Amino acid sequence: MRTVGVEEELLLVDPETGEPQALSAAVLARAARDDPSEETFEKELHNQQLEFATHPQADMTELGAEIVRCRKEAARVAGEIGTTVVALATSPLPVRPSVSMNSRYQWMAQEFGLPTLEQLVCGCHIHVSVESDDEGAAVLDRIRPWLSVLTALSANSPFWQGKDSLYSSYRSRVWVRWPMAGPTELFGSADAYHRRVDDMVATGVLRDRGMVYFDARIAERYPTVEIRVSDVCLEASTATLLATLTRGLVETAAREWREGVAPAGHTVDLLRLASWRAARSGLEDDLLHPLSMTPAPAGDVVQALLEHVGPALDDSGDTDRVHKAAAELLRHGNGARVQREILERTGSLGDVVTECVRRTQS
């Protein structure tokens, strides 16, 4: 069974006002004081962020439980210094981000300028184990059309600097400002993948290979492919659903490769349009169907994804849980819909953050 690990980026906010707080260094120091061997939490690009990573898990119930544990532990440590955490992919309230005092991040601020300051966005990165880089490259070629559906399911960033962006996942629109981010053309082989990465680094625009921000990439430090298109999810259950579907996509792609099934030849132009459509619509309107790249209702596209990964879900014993979770998400909405409903009910973006803090930690 393929193992899955999840990295979540959380916002640090004032428990009373919901305003982002630049306290990541203090939170990390408190975590290290409590447990010097603690490696769950990491510094991120901005001082208003805190990242955690789960251990690799083969059982998705265990993975979901670990996501909940990590969120609660993050809230506990943050609470000891008077702040708290919330799983929002952008801050609903206005914020002036500050870049962490880290040589890598300071280099990015100097090299890329204003877009670095504006990258206060929180994603969910999902690692799925692969047997080799050859398998990893084959997987990347075959999951490309389906990644926009994961963006739509996870969409949790409708607000930007105190205003409604009109997007469900505005985080993804901010993210693609990086010149090394987004969908990729077909690689064809692991050697071709590594040559392309080497060529990108050789331009001098990127500091190193870790700065290749493809929608999905072969991880540098782990024997995994890393899928990077999702907003951090408001509910831990949604993150678990995304992780399970992502494992299903990877397993399905690997089987297709072994069976000699060629990847879909969609161009990057079409993939970018699918990504934009998912970011704009979320689950509220049409998406581009991954097979035809023509408009289709979001529910139909999600159903197509479930059918595509169906055999893999059956083999891992995840089918019933995934179908129930997907139906629940379509019925009640992703984080973007929840945030907008809270604002409509309360009239306050501060109340949006406060309610989302509760949901993050429940």
Confidence of residue 39 (pLDDT cuts 50, 70, 90): confident
Token pair listed for 186: 């077909």
Instruction: Please give, one letter per residue, the 3-state secondary structure of 91-121.
Output: CCCCCCCCECCCHHHHHHHHHHCHHHHCCCC
CATH class of 4-344+355-360: alpha beta
CA-to-CA distance for 67 and 62, rounded, in angstroms?
9
Q: What is the pTM of this model?
A: 0.97
pLDDT in tens, 278-326: 999 999 999 999 999 999 999 999 999 999 999 999 999 999 999 999 9
* Percent residues over pLDDT 70 in the chain: 100
Mean pLDDT of the chain: 97
Cα–Cα distance between 79 and 88 in angstroms, integer? 18
In this predicted structure, what is the pLDDT of residue 71?
A: 98
Number of Cβ within 10 Å of residue 223's Cβ equals 16
Per DSSP, the chain holds a count of helices (H) and strands (E) of 15, 13
Surface-to-core class of residue 287, CB atoms within 10 Å of its CB (0-12 exposed, 13-18 middle, 19+ buried): buried
Which H or E run includes 346? helix 335-346
Contacts (Cβ under 8 Å, ≥6 apart) of 203: none
Torsion region of 288: left, alpha or beta (phi above 0 gives left; psi -120 to 50 gives alpha): beta
- Nearest 5 degrees, angle CA 28-CA 112-CA 12? 25
Query: 223-273, pLDDT tens digit by residue?
Result: 999 999 999 999 999 999 999 999 999 999 999 999 999 999 999 999 999
Q: In this structure, what token pair is assigned to residue 136?
A: 């990893």
Tell me if 51 sits within 8 A of 10, measured CB to CB.
yes
Task: Report the alpha-carbon distance of residue 116 to residue 73 in Å, rounded.
Answer: 28
* Interatomic CA distance for residues 301 and 304, integer angstroms: 5
Give CA–CA dist 308/326, Å, rounded.
14
Domain boundaries, the chain: 4-344+355-360
pLDDT in tens, 196-210: 999 999 999 999 999
Flag whether pLDDT at 37 surpasses 80: no
pLDDT tens across 95-107, in order? 999 999 999 999 9
Q: Parallel, antiparallel, or unpaired: how do β-strands 4-13 and 41-42 relate?
A: unpaired
Q: 159 or 36, which is more confident?
A: 159
Rounded CA-CA distance 14/351 in Å is 12
Tally of residues, the chain = 362
State phi, psi for 129 to the nearest 5 degrees.
-70, 145
- Where residue 40 falls among pLDDT bands split at 50, 70, 90? confident
Interval 133-152: pLDDT, tens: 999 999 999 999 999 999 99
- Please, are residues 253 and 138 in contact by the beta-carbon 8 Å criterion? yes
pLDDT at 35 over 90: no
CA distances from 323 to 184, 305, 329, 333, 337 (A): 29, 11, 10, 15, 20
Q: Which of 72, 263, 260, 234 is nearest to 168 (CA)?
A: 234
